[in-house]
A = this chain, B = another copy of it.
Amino acid sequence: MAIARTVDRRLFFLFNRAHTQLAKFADYHLAGSSGVSTSQAAVLTYLGYHDGCRLSDLANGVGRNNSAITGLVSRMEKLRLVSRKKTLDGRSRAVYLTDEGWRLREIVREDFRSFNEKLTRGLTESEVDAVIKFLNLSIENVAPQDK
C-alpha cells in the first residue's frame, strides 16, 4: 500500500520515461527499415485509411495541432511521400499518399506489428486490457477542458 502510494505519485514521470524509451526504440527501428520517423509513420498509417483527407482531419487523426501538421506534411512532401492537392473548398487542402508513401506504409506496418507485440510481452491478457483502459481513460480524463 505504502509502496503503491509512492509509485502512484511518480506515475506521470514513469509514463514519460517509458514514452521516451519507446519513442527512441521505434525511431531506431523505423530508421533501419523504412527510414521515416515515428511522426511520419503515424501520418502514413492514418492516410492509408483516409487518403485525401484535409490537413486538419489529419491533424486530428494523429493528435497534433495544425501548425505541427503543416511542417510535418511539408517535410514529407519534400520526401515525395505525400502530396497536397486543392479541394472544392478553397480554404482547405487535401493530402494524398504517393506511390512511395504507400510502399513505405507497408514496411511501417510490418515494423509496428512486431513492435506492438513486443510491447505486450510478459503481460497477461487482462493486464493488457488494463493498460488499454488506462490509456483510453488518460486520453478522456484529461481531454481539453470543456470549450
Q: Name the CB-closest residue of B to A7.
A: B132
Q: Is A141 in contact with B112, judged by CB distance below 8 angstroms? A: no
CB within 8 Å of B: which A97-122 residues: 112-113, 115-122
Report if A75 contacts B (CB, 8 A): no
CB within 8 Å of B: which A15-34 residues: 15-23, 25-26
Q: A7-B132, A11-B119 are in contact. Are A38 and B18 (CB under 8 A)?
A: no
Which of the segments A78-86, A88-96, A123-131 contacts the partner chain? A123-131
Residues of chain B lying within 8 A (CB to CB) of residue A130: 123, 126-127, 130-131, 134
Kindly provide the distance from the CB of A9 to the nearest chain B CB, expressed in whole angstroms.
5
Q: Is A15 in contact with B133, judged by CB distance below 8 angstroms? A: no
Interface SS of chain A: helix
Per the bound structure, the CA–CA distance linking A136 and B138 in Å amounts to: 18
Contact with B along A22-53 (1 / 0, CB 8 A): 11011000000000001000100100000000
Q: A4-B129, A8-B117 are in contact. Are A137 and B112 (CB under 8 A)?
A: no
Q: Is A139 in contact with B18, judged by CB distance below 8 angstroms? A: yes
Report if A2 contacts B (CB, 8 A): no
Q: Is B12 in contact with A119, judged by CB distance below 8 angstroms? A: yes
- Sorted from nearest, which 10 A-B pairs have the closest CB atoms? A130-B130, A127-B130, A18-B138, A25-B142, A18-B135, A19-B19, A131-B134, A11-B116, A17-B63, A14-B135
